[in-house]
Chains A and B, each alone.
Chain A
Amino acid sequence: MPDLGRLALAIALLLAFYSIGANVFGARRRRPEFIASARHALWAMCAMVTIAVVALWTGLLSSDFSLEYVASYSSTTLPTVYKFTALWGGQQGSLLLWTWLLSIFTSVAAYQHRRRNPEIAPYAMAVLAGVAIFFLGMLNFVTRPFDLLPVIPAQGTDLNPLLQNYWMAIHPPSLYTGYVSATVPFAFGAAALMTGKLDDSWIRSTRRWAIFSWFFLTLGNLFGARWAYEVLGWGGYWAWDPVENAAFMPWLVMTAYLHSVMIQERKDMLKVWNLALIGLAFSLTIFGTFITRSGVISSVHSFTQSGLGPYFLSFLVLIVAAYTGLLIFRARELRSPAEFESYLSREAAFLFNNLMLIGIAFAVFWGTIFPVLSEAVRGVKITVGPPFFNSVAGPLALGLIFLMGVGPLIAWRRTTASNLVKSFTAPAITGVATGVVALAAGLRTWYVLTAFSLAAFVLGTVVVEFRRGVGARRHMLAEPAPRALVNLVAKNNRRYGGYIIHIGVIVAFVGIVGSSFFKTEVKKSVREGQSFTVGAYQLRYLGLSESDTAHMESATARIEVSRNGRVVTEMAPAKLFYKREQQPATKVAIRSTPFADLYIVLAGLDENGNQATFEVFLTPLVFWLWAGGLLMAIGTVVVMWPNVRERAAIAAAVRRAAPVAITGEPAPGGD
């Protein structure tokens, strides 16, 4: 199996090289048979990488410790599901997963564009193959997943205990899917620059890829946050760790991109900006990988640190330099007849929305690299942690939330004062009223008051939008309200799906604010039978139960939770000890309600187990962070739902862009 894996990776690399050559030659000489051959090579490359992945999985599942990777990240006692997820538990495996996803997405894009966008698609495929060459080069020559050990150990080192969690089974693949799928719109942007086909056909034909990437970046970030919440045991979910930041930045830039392309589609403006944004989003995915694997910036994500930094940095510099060069080369052609009438227009709202999103992304980037700058300039090591990011990104987030409310309700071009009053009166009153109620309820923190008021304002604007749409349908079609609502969303899924995402963002934002500002923490040592109070809850320590398996030892405390004298539940936080790694860990117990999460950590035990120390967090509203995430996911599915009219628009754009197909075949639209 290892030989098969190695061979498959070598062939995949050759196929990627061939695909670049055949695509470029076929496109330049107008030889469709070469383009078709290049496409088949990409599919074959995907098959080869799949074989390598299956080979490594076989090694992991059969505990083949002759493989260095399996011996380092698995053991015979590791539960089967984690043997499976160990594929991305280490350096080589996670790069293999990355390459596999890239080869799958490249194959799908190649299939979608076998007849579409014939002038830029071959170059886009060449760019995708170029990115694949970098990763396949790493897997073949630098960090090989199929290296063998000279002496086969009887047992493996095991997977890092922190990664033995179900969220870890889905967080890295989600994030990687988000990262890697951003390569497709980037490749089409680069191809548009190479060929000079600079209209919006590259945006339209990769719009779903951009949303797909955003969707998985969103999920990846949320799953990672949930993992941190359940596993790290400090009661929080986001620590502004460099690697978290590295996943957050592409999300911000992709969000900006998804908004600004609407201006180009609608008004043919911002061509340079959109091309720059997609270049930036892709570069940030590589930057994220560089940070995770270089060890340049210390991080809690040290699972995959290695000496790969220089390779990723070189690749990053190459991409940024080549792409910037292309942008400069095409600068003159990218000028478009832009029109701007008023700051009270949707264009303006989108421009400032982009400013805020990129502003936050820059602040996060700046804070992430500042320790390196400080060491280079002053020779002093410093840390840039949560207080900095909260102080800088917090106020910017408020600006962004405000614009989320303003943007959708104002018209393109310009809005009159009377329209403004008509649109915003109800949402503004809702926002102010929420602030007054919060003040009356005793809230005195300016940030929380502003945040809650703005959240209510934005929700108000979304309600106004839905009401308008439903009202129009009821008025003209006499549809009952529920049916009008369903039809409204179904017929305009892009727009109203977007609003559902906005609601999700607001709900998550309320969860973040609530959980950040009102967390209560209590640390208490108690004997069996003793009680203590946390907020409105009374906690009674009932006792300890211990278990011992081949994989780990665990001590689980039982805690009876009461409220107003009534028992509501029993919770069971535990201390674990992983035998192979000789490493302790905690298992948090969480009781989640829409009002607050009760979060219990078993922090310590005395010698004979009579006395236990608990760290308990009562975190209000954190439930809504995850609920908001779910709404964002639902909204994205609505946005991505196939829409017949949009297919027609794509087909029309493509026909305008490429009246003569070099393949000689008709050019159908839609992805």
Chain B
Amino acid sequence: MRARMTGVLAIVSLAIVLSLAAARTLPSAAERPSEEQVAQGLTCQCGCGLTVANCNMPTCSFSVPTRHQIQDMIDHGKSQVEIIAFYRHKFGEKVLSAPTTQGFNLLAWITPFAALLAGGVLIVFTARRWHREPDSPPSQPAPAAPDENSFDPELRRKLAEDLRKGG
């Protein structure tokens, strides 16, 4: 029981760490952003499906002027969050290149980690069901698959086998 709890706790902690790691990559309000950073946060509306930063159609009617505007706004001291909010107000949510972290959209962010957590818990419970107390020393090799070896005794055994075959 204790082992299972430890396993579950380890998986939960891992999921929390990974989620926090993901959260760290979201934009903060304080830093002066680069035009590229902001443009990565917006989806080009020309129909290419890429971000404003990535659409490189020389004559694009959306990404080209938008990148100029973004630079202007950065020069006027606007933060990444403010600039993105400006475009969201103007074009709606579809202009954002990632879902917001509110309401239904929160599902987009949470579900992958929740699924990972569920998978981890499933492994822990399944392993528990499969658990068998060790009854032999771990260094004793199990019957070998054709090309498996792990530790020196087994390596030596394999080597001997190779030699027999003229290695």
Contacts A236-B54, A477-B163, A645-B146; is A383 near B96 (CB within 8 Å)?
yes
Which of B36, B59, B127 counts the most A-chain CB atoms under 10 A from its CB?
Answer: B127
Other-chain contact of B134, A242, A380, A414 (Cβ < 8 Å):
A414
Which one, A386, A392, A494, contacts B112 given CB within 8 A? A392
Q: How far is the CA of A657 from the CA of B95 in the complex (A)?
A: 57
Give the docked Cα–Cα distance between A412 and B50 (Å): 46
* Interface majority SS (helix, strand, loop, mixed), chain A: helix
Question: Which chain A residues (543-578) contact chain B, with CB distance < 8 Å?
Answer: 575
Chain B positions within 8 Å of A233 at CB level: 56
A234-B98 in contact (CB<8A): no
Closest CB in chain A relative to B95 CB, distance in Å = 8
- Of all chain A residues, the one with the shortest Cβ separation from B140 is A413
Task: Please name the residue on chain A nearest to B25 by beta carbon.
Answer: A391
- Interface residues in A358-396 (C-beta closer than 8 Å to B): 358-359, 362-363, 366-367, 370, 374, 377-378, 380-388, 390-392, 394-396
Q: Nearest Cβ in chain B — how far from A364, in angstroms?
A: 9
Provide the B38-72 mask, 1 if CB < 8 A to any CB of A, else 0.
00110100011111011110110000000000000
Are B56 and A601 within 8 A (Cβ)?
A: yes
**Of A106-114, A148-156, A213-221, A339-347, the one touching chain B:** A339-347
Say if the beta carbon of B147 comes within 8 Å of chain A.
yes
B52 to chain A, nearest CB (A): 10
Asked whether A492 is an interface residue with its Cβ less than 8 Å from the other chain, the reply is: yes
User: Residue of A at shortest CB range from B134?
Assistant: A341
A468 at the interface (CB under 8 A from B): yes
CB within 8 Å for A586 and B56 given contacts A394-B22, A396-B18, A412-B150 = yes
Q: How far is the CA of A391 from the CA of B150 in the complex (A)?
A: 36
The bracket for how many chain B residues form the interface is 35 or more
Q: How far is the CB of B50 from chain A (nearest CB, A)?
A: 6
Q: In chain B, residues 148-165, which have Cβ atoms closer than 8 Å to a Cβ of chain A?
A: 148-152, 155-156, 158-160, 162-163, 165
Contact A382–B93 (Cβ < 8 Å): yes
B115 touches A359 (CB 8 A): yes
Q: Mark B78-97, 1 if CB is under 8 A from A, else 0.
A: 00000000000000111111
Cβ of A399 within 8 Å of any chain B Cβ, yes or no, is yes
Within the assembled complex, what's the spacing in Å between the Cα atoms of A233 and B111?
Answer: 34
Given contact pairs A239-B54, A584-B58, A341 touches B132 in the complex (Cβ within 8 A): yes
B1 an interface residue at 8 Å Cβ cutoff? no
- B30 beta carbon closer than 8 Å to chain A: no
A468–B50 touching, CB < 8 Å: no
A415 at the interface (CB under 8 A from B): yes
Tell me which residues across on chain A come within 8 A of B126, comparing CB atoms.
340
A340 and B131 form a contact (CB under 8 A): yes
Taking a contact as CB atoms under 8 Å apart, the answer to whether B130 and A378 are in contact is no
Q: Which of chain A's residues has its CB closest to B14's CB?
A: A399
Once the chains bind, are B43 and A385 in contact (CB under 8 Å)? yes
Segment touching B, from A31-39, A172-180, A322-330, A348-356: A348-356
- Measured between beta carbons, the chain B residues less than 8 angstroms from A299 are 49
Shortest Cβ distance from residue A224 to the other chain B in the assembled complex, whole angstroms: 15
Asked if B120 CB lies within 8 Å of chain A CBs, one says yes
A444 at the interface (CB under 8 A from B): no
Footprint of A on B, CB under 8 Å? 7, 14, 17-18, 21-26, 34, 36, 40-41, 43, 47-51, 53-56, 58-59, 92-99, 104-105, 107-109, 111-113, 115-116, 119-120, 123, 126-127, 129-134, 138-139, 142, 145-152, 155-156, 158-160, 162-163, 165, 167
Nearest first, the 3 closest Cβ-Cβ pairs linking A and B are A385-B97, A363-B112, A340-B130
**30 contacts across the A-B interface (CB closer than 8 A):** A234-B50, A234-B55, A234-B56, A239-B54, A300-B49, A338-B129, A341-B131, A343-B7, A352-B123, A356-B116, A359-B116, A374-B99, A381-B94, A382-B93, A382-B94, A383-B94, A383-B97, A383-B98, A384-B99, A384-B108, A386-B51, A391-B22, A411-B138, A411-B139, A413-B134, A416-B139, A472-B159, A495-B149, A521-B34, A649-B146
